[in-house]
Structure 1
Amino acid sequence: MTSATEPARAGHPAPAVPRLIATDLDGTLLRDDKSVSERTVAALAAAEEAGIEVFFVTGRPVRWLDVVSDHVQGHGLAICGNGAAVVDLHDGVAEHRFVKVRPLERAAALAVVELLRAAVPGTSFAVEQTGGLHHESAYPPMLMNAAGSIAPAEELLADDADTVAEPILKLLAHHPELPPDDFLALARNAVGARAEITRSSPTALLEISGPGVSKASTLELCCAERGILPSEVVAFGDMPNDVEMLTWAGTSYAMGNAHPDVVAAASGHTVANNDDGVAVVIERILASL
């Protein structure tokens, strides 16, 4: 494994001037207290001044992006919901504009609920839509998760649901007892190719998107629209929902606090989020110009 000051991957060295930086938020760009350090803010601004585009790529819904909206400069676009949506943050979170939506179809979401109820008893569900979150009564209330409605998942996903006009960004599944990685393995085995399942929480909370929808695939679409090649992208992450993105990018870094699967997938590593690992690498790139 390489250090933050060594070439990232044999055959894939960090580009002299990357065209895009793609960074996860929680556990990566953000410190554990959910702040963005002054050093990191300065590094992002310096990257953009050097002509390097910055994308926030997160599992968070758009309403949770206020942690970075104050620091939007050129980087007004964010990929959220693990690739389910691209939003423009230039006018703030309250005035965000969906640029792209890649929904989970209702029929597919219902099928996943049925399969997981049978395969992993005790699972509870929430539905993240463009207009907000809705969940079952057994689903644990999360910080910043104000439910739009509470009902069984089958009712929330019915064709006559009150929110049927709002695209589904992702389905969330929680288990009160299973270890997170065990829950992930069981769910992937039960659901197969019907949906993409990943996780970013330290708890047994799974995030379920439409087939082929991930941070990596949406980032690839955004880069293709800009004529940016994978070899021109530097990516950062710390949890399993970052693995595909780190594998796709020409140069990628696992944080010092990263999940083992992320360490294995990334081409290099940097220090932990609380030590400004993203800024450390950006500063090194800019110093080499």
Structure 2
Amino acid sequence: MPYSHAPLVTPSEQPATDAGADIRLVVTDMDGTLLDDDKRAPDGLWEVLALLRERGVLFSPASGRQYATLARQFAEVAEGMVFIAENGTYVVRDGVELSSDPLDPAVAHGVVRATRQLVADGVDMGAVLCGKKSAYVERTDEAFLAEVRRYYLEHRIVEDVTAVDDDIIKVALFDFGSAERTTAPALEPFTATHQVVVSGEHWVDVMNRTANKGAAIRRLQHDLGITPAQTMVFGDYLNDLEMLDTAEWSFAMANAHPEVVRRARHLAPSNNDNGVLRTVARMLDLPVTDS
């Protein structure tokens, strides 16, 4: 998801890369990385994905977004694609679950209760209980639901999210203010046993300690016999940090959070400058326009 501060680098500062490198896996975050700030896919995406498929390169979206949302976005090319959804807690290929990391219901319900208390204290926020079948919310106003719809195609409004019958893999919290300054600190009690990850300016995710995009990628690499040297990853926010450690070709976007820039090995042009596709085309020497 987009970082609100000005970029630390410009595309012209991107270091040189090795055209024609032996890349077998390309993994990219969505919001603030592959998509521009208006949530639009870059020009040339389908052409590049077709070229990658011809070369036997697996392209995998890795996002905090729901599997159903990602599958719809890539419906034209979804066959054979691995979707790393819900920040790595749910990984699916051709409709078949490859891995998941469900939360203990008691923990999920505890996060919901903490959220309700924050709302009672005047924080303008809401919880999204993320299940394998659907996402579930209690808050019903249009402003909140508009944000939910961005990331959760399958979502249901229920009276009590703690009463749903589903495997819960994550609790996502949307704060209309600053998630990093307000919501995340309030959830500090959960950090002793679980992850509390700021995944965007307004979003915080609570997951198992073992769940992240990086863990999902490492399992995928192991299963497919792909090495870090054959892997490219792109990210922009704090929920992408572990993912960057899985690849020798790890790229922070020019618009990335400062910690992401420090963690990545390389820099890519910003999400608004088609940074992912430009870098992939250069690295793999694809016959597409660098624009």
**Aligned partner of 2:145 among 127, 141, 145:** 141
Q: Could you tell me which residue of structure 1 aligns to residue 62 of structure 2?
A: 57
Q: Contact 1:195–1:209 (CA<8 Å) still a contact in 2? A: yes
Cα distance, 1:227 vs structure 2: 1.9
Q: 1:253 to 1:188 in 2, by over 3 A?
A: farther
Q: Contact 2:251–2:267 (CA<8 Å) still a contact in 1? A: yes
Map of 1:33-72 to 2, 5 A cutoff? 33-65=38-70, 66-72=72-78
Letter in 1 for 2:53: E
Letter in 1 for 2:228: P
Q: Helix, strand or coil: the match of 1:279?
A: helix
Gapped runs of 5+ residues in structure 2? 1-8, 287-291
Q: 1:222 to 1:14 in 2, by over 3 A?
A: farther
Map of 1:92-111 to 2, 5 A cutoff? 96-111=95-110
Map of 1:134-173 to 2, 5 A cutoff? 134-137=136-139, 140-143=144-147, 144=149, 145=152, 147-151=155-159, 155-157=160-162, 161=163, 163-164=164-165, 166-173=166-173
Give the alignment's TM-score, normalised by structure 1.
0.80
Letter in 2 for 1:250: E
**After the TM superposition, which of the residue ranges 32-41 and 109-118 deviates more from structure 2?**
109-118
**Aligned partner of 2:92 among 84, 87, 96:** 87
Identity %: 27
RMSD: 2.9
Aligned-partner Cα distance in 1 for 2:221–2:187 = 28
Q: 1:63 to 1:246 in 2, by over 3 A?
A: same
Aligned-partner Cα distance in 1 for 2:186–2:285 = 45
1:17-47 alpha-carbon deviations (Å, 9 max, x no partner) = 1221111112212233333334233223223
Give the alignment's TM-score, normalised by structure 2.
0.80
Q: 1:108 to 1:258 in 2, by over 3 A?
A: same
Q: 1:189 to 1:53 in 2, by over 3 A?
A: same
Q: Contact 1:129–1:167 (CA<8 Å) still a contact in 2? A: yes
Aligned-partner Cα distance in 2 for 1:20–1:3 = 25
Q: Could you tell me which residue of structure 1 aligns to residue 6 of structure 2?
A: none
Q: Helix, strand or coil: the match of 1:35?
A: coil
Q: 1:125 to 1:228 in 2, by over 3 A?
A: same
Letter in 1 for 2:269: V
1:97-128 alpha-carbon deviations (Å, 9 max, x no partner) = 43322211202213334556678953542201
Q: Could you tell me which residue of structure 2 aligns to residue 239 of structure 1?
A: 237
Cα distance, 1:270 vs structure 2: 0.9
**After the TM superposition, which of the residue ranges 99-108 and 212-221 deviates more from structure 2?**
99-108
Aligned-partner Cα distance in 1 for 2:87–2:252 = 17
Gapped runs of 5+ residues in structure 1? 8-12, 90-95
Q: Could you tell me which residue of structure 1 aligns to residue 174 of structure 2?
A: 174
Q: 1:28 to 1:175 in 2, by over 3 A?
A: closer
Letter in 2 for 1:18: I
Q: Contact 1:135–1:150 (CA<8 Å) still a contact in 2? A: yes
Q: Contact 1:14–1:234 (CA<8 Å) still a contact in 2? A: no
